[in-house]
Amino acid sequence: MKTKILLDEEQIPKKWYNVQADMPSPLDPPLHPKTQKPVGPQDLAAIFPMELIKQEVTTDRYVDIPEEVRDVLRLWRPSPLYRAHRLEKFLKTPAKIYYKWEGVSPAGSHKANTSIPQAYYNKQAGIERIATETGAGQWGSALAFATMLYDLECTVYMVGSSYHQKPYRKSMMNVWGAECIPSPSTRTNSGRAVLEKDPETPGALGIAISEAVEDAATHANTNYALGSVLNHVCLHQTIIGQECREQLAMVEDYPDVVIGCVGGGSNFAGIAFPFAGDKLTGKHKDVDIIGVEPASCPTLTKGAFMYDYGDVAGLTPLLMMYTLGHDFVPPSIHAGGLRYHGDSPIVSRLVHDGVMRAVSLHQSEAFEAGQTFARTEGIIIAPETSHAVKVAIDEALKCKKTGEEKTILFNCSGHGNFDMSAYDAFHAGRLVDYEYPDELIREAIGRIPSIQ
């Protein structure tokens, strides 16, 4: 029985997979924040290079990965697929549990799969600086790494609560030459407006996005980069699921269940979209694809499927997605990367159409699962990833009851080496489980602008 399933460097995918080509109906177009008319390439050109804009709107099934990008990806890809024998034994389950380990990237997570091509295309377009936001710091770290490789400047607006909870993420960005600023900040009009209303705000991804977009839009040499949500970001991540299929084929297996944690949707899309494509095309109709989110920010499970801004200030296009309202500020949980009011439009559509489904968890049960994983498989994972582990354990325990020998696959999206204060809080019993009240969600959704 293999524990680690490896591919050769030559087997890094040569193309990204675009699930839009296999979806039964097209996505609703993004709308201009002021006119509410469909956004065109010229509307996005102020903050994105044209190659990424093309990837954002294409419905081609495959998009070529530049060889220059594959050369950098070889630093850590293909990433290993592990069979979790020790976890299976601990659970006494007949299920087979596999996990894709994305923590082997230099930045420590899946985020580098998209930061590299985004930095590459911006460099090709003559851009000198990139502004972005980050929640827990995984994306900010990955973009700092990528901009360092391509000799670009980088400014990261990091959600304030995470900035203070995870100081070494900021240090990591600084080592790679990036500037990291706690958000909301006094540097932008967006940040100052939020601080004026609530000086003690913990911040949120929607606020940090507003700051980064404003920064990019007001500096001619600067573009904006997003680490999740958008179509081209999810596209870049599909190398994860494509590699998984090849690795499982090496042991003559295929998943019955595919799981990923969900904030904006990028790591979940990365592992799920290739299998969703198999489901949509009838190759494997019964695969169960599950996205896992925190109960304190239950976008897919309690949000409304409607047009909304991607940021607090209303600077971004309106996207058709599951949303809790663009001015929704979730509580300061330790899985900072999952604290986003919206979700990827493609993930949202696939959940809405029943191709995939979503569940929510409290942070204490997620941390308990993360500790179980560390004490069986040895890897200390990010709090975000522990949400996926919890559902993988739950699915394996169901098999223990039924005797089914299902194959369970989940994306282990990043390490928790800079999250030890969160684990300390868990061990000290200081974690607070918070389920956002339905009435506050309804109020936030009620403030979303109506589309004429």
Taking residues 414-427, report their average pLDDT: 90
Taking residues 267-271, report their average pLDDT: 97
Amino acid code (one letter) for 4: K
The pTM for the full model equals 0.95
Q: How high is the pLDDT of residue 336?
A: 53
**Domains and their CATH numbers in the chain:** 66-108+232-446 (3.40.50.1100)
Tokens 């200030």 sit at which residue? Answer: 313
Instruction: Please answer whether residues 291 and 260 qualify as being in contact, where contact means their C-beta atoms are separated by less than 8 angstroms.
Output: yes
* Neighbour-count burial of 28, counting CB atoms closer than 10 A to its CB (0-12 exposed, 13-18 middle, 19+ buried): middle
207-220 per-position pLDDT tens digit: 898 999 999 999 99
Where does the pLDDT of residue 325 fall: very low under 50, low under 70, confident under 90, or very high at 90 and above?
very high
Statement: residue 243 has pLDDT above 90: yes
Mean pLDDT, rounded, of the chain: 94
- Which range has the worst mean pLDDT, 102-106, 233-237, 326-330, 391-395? 326-330
| β-pair type (129-134, 62-64) | unpaired
CA angle, residues 434, 435, 441, in degrees to nearest 5: 130
Q: How high is the pLDDT of residue 206?
A: 82
Neighbours of 352 (CB within 10 A): 14
65-90 per-position pLDDT tens digit: 999 999 999 999 999 999 999 999 99
Taking residues 177-183, report their average pLDDT: 97
Where does the pLDDT of residue 331 fall: very low under 50, low under 70, confident under 90, or very high at 90 and above?
low
Statement: residue 7 has pLDDT above 80: yes
Q: Rounded CA gap, 5 and 81, in Å?
A: 5
Taking residues 300-315, report their average pLDDT: 90
- The DSSP letter of residue 20 is G
Instruction: Please answer whether residues 304 and 451 qualify as being in contact, where contact means their C-beta atoms are separated by less than 8 angstroms.
Output: no
Instruction: Please answer whether residues 350 and 288 qualify as being in contact, where contact means their C-beta atoms are separated by less than 8 angstroms.
Output: no
Q: How high is the pLDDT of residue 190?
A: 94
Q: How high is the pLDDT of residue 452?
A: 60
Q: How high is the pLDDT of residue 162?
A: 84
Instruction: Please answer whether residues 322 and 33 qualify as being in contact, where contact means their C-beta atoms are separated by less than 8 angstroms.
Output: no
Write the CA distances from 24 to 277, 345, 357, integer angstroms.
11, 15, 17
- The DSSP letter of residue 51 is H
Statement: residue 358 has pLDDT above 80: yes
Q: For residue 230, give the nearest of 37, 20, 70, 34 by alpha carbon.
A: 20
Instruction: Please answer whether residues 344 and 266 qualify as being in contact, where contact means their C-beta atoms are separated by less than 8 angstroms.
Output: yes
Statement: residue 382 has pLDDT above 90: yes
Taking residues 176-199, report their average pLDDT: 95
Q: For residue 390, give the nearest of 278, 295, 284 by alpha carbon.
A: 295
HSE value, Cβ hemisphere, 13 Å, CA-based, for 105: 25
State percent of the chain over pLDDT 70: 98
Where does the pLDDT of residue 434 fall: very low under 50, low under 70, confident under 90, or very high at 90 and above?
confident
Q: Rounded CA gap, 102 and 216, in Å?
A: 29
State percent of the chain over pLDDT 90: 80
Q: Which two tokens stand for residue 348?
A: 């949202």
Q: How high is the pLDDT of residue 49?
A: 96
- Which range has the worst mean pLDDT, 50-64, 284-298, 326-340? 326-340
Taking residues 186-202, report their average pLDDT: 94
Q: For residue 270, give the nearest of 36, 114, 59, 375 by alpha carbon.
A: 114
Statement: residue 200 has pLDDT above 80: yes
Listed in order, strand segments (DSSP E) in 303-391 are 304-309, 318-323, 357-361
